[in-house]
A and B are shown apart, each in its own frame.
Chain A
């Protein structure tokens, strides 16, 4: 394993230099090598690059349900943009997206970190418990949404019957009141995100040299002090990665909200993701959908910059 970085790629190739036509051979080899990479590049250009460009173009086009019969989507300047930005729902969706993302990340991260610290202790069954806790993250998100919809049901859900039994109300309209729904959706998403945060932060914690903790305990540092002066600073790169990846997967969420509330009640859980979906695939106004989608991309792009910064030391 230690030898792996010693051989620079390409040196082996020079061995064939005494062949009849070196330039031609080299070209043929380069072509063969690109053959390995080209399919993936083409695939990613088609499935990631092209949609980005197409969405920008679409946002200046007038789509109607008829477009799919006639194939005509005339350009209409800034009409889609001004319609979307003048619609009160857009501002609402933007606000919900930010609240949803911030709330989810805060909850997932804090609980995930607490569990990562907890599982860093040594105790029997640690490994088994730690891997079983991944299950919520592996179940399809739309299925988790459906299950929680049952759990949170106002009249017959188990959460309300439990709260009623211990005398803490028990008739909260978790998903059916506009005032509660966003909070409930955030809580469910925290539940989904905890395992992911925990696993990555746990991995980061194991990288911190044990000697540092021993030294700290010899110096008589308190647990809190050790956590703040050793754990947090050394964990910082991993923390950045977790938060940025969390941000990018949370800000675009769609499955969970559709399964829990379909964006309701009274648009109380409408986010940029669900609004894009509604505009394009329910109203069949793909131009308006593209506008909201572009805003979503713009927000993600800002955070992609953070992500790449966090990745830079690793990227070879």
Chain B
């Protein structure tokens, strides 16, 4: 193609191409600056002997002893985080998906108020919730329990999931649901066999975010636990820096491990994440 193009046009595509390449270079630089702290986390983790000394810009050798120590000290907390987060996702979806469907399709009196209330919950500061919740948890015996933390962490994802899934379910064609009802399916079967499969993407996006919210939670872990029984990785790392100020290598290794789910999800579920950020906040 290029051979047949007249000279001036070729020159123009040439400059445009060069400008595009320049943009790519600038983009890579921007990304480099933004991700530098995370690179430094990995880099420090690979230099466990540096202690309180300065860290070399690039690790001289592949020293995984920092990671070994982090797994030894924090492995249990990673498992706790995983269990609590998965539990929170299950609770979140079980509560939010039917509600989203009900609010999208039933035309119940009060639906508007509920949707309004769901949006309002985003303004309630977590520490205020923790303040009241701690006292109730003490009365109910939920302090230092997996179930208590799962419930609290689920609250981080529920309003978001309702808003996101509702806006998706509103757009499911009414005919599909009516057809199911004609076939004699009750509301529960229609929901489970027709609506949920059609809402797969919205469910996945909600689930991913509910997981990330629960995995990142620090405040409920800090305030609703008084012993070491239920200690997620975020709380583990926070207490680690208090106790191991000189041992940055293993602190950073634990940090890397705690960032792994975010990185994996970003690579595997890119499109869901971008959809969730825009869908959950703008709509």
Contact = CB atoms under 8 A, between A and B. Distances in A.
A241 B28 contact: no
Q: Which of A129, A191, A258, A259 has the most CB of B within 10 A?
A: A129
B273 A134 contact: yes
- Most chain B CB within a 10 A radius of its CB, from A47, A191, A194, A281: A47
B187 A52 contact: no
A89 interface: no
A72 B57 CA distance: 57
A312 B257 CA distance: 41
A303 interface: yes
Interface in B231-283: 233-234, 237-238, 241, 248, 251-252, 255, 258-259, 262-263, 265-266, 270, 273-274, 277-278, 281-283
A64 B262 CA distance: 40
Nearest to B273: A134
B50 to A, nearest CB: 8
B278 A203 contact: yes
B31 A48 contact: no
B31 to A, nearest CB: 5
B218 A140 contact: yes
A85 B167 CA distance: 43
Contacts of B134: 280-281, 286
Instruction: Bin chain B's interface residue count.
Output: 35 or more
Contact of A142 (B55, B95, B238, B263): B238
Contacts of B175: 3, 7
Interface in A38-58: 39-41, 43-44, 47-52, 54-55, 58
Interface of A: 1, 3-4, 6-10, 12, 29-30, 32-37, 39-41, 43-44, 47-52, 54-55, 58, 68, 115, 118-119, 121-126, 129, 131-136, 138-144, 146-151, 155-156, 158, 161, 191, 194-196, 199-200, 203-204, 238, 241, 245, 248, 251-252, 254-255, 258-259, 273, 276-277, 280-281, 286, 289-290, 293-294, 296-297, 300-301, 303-304, 307-308, 311, 314-316
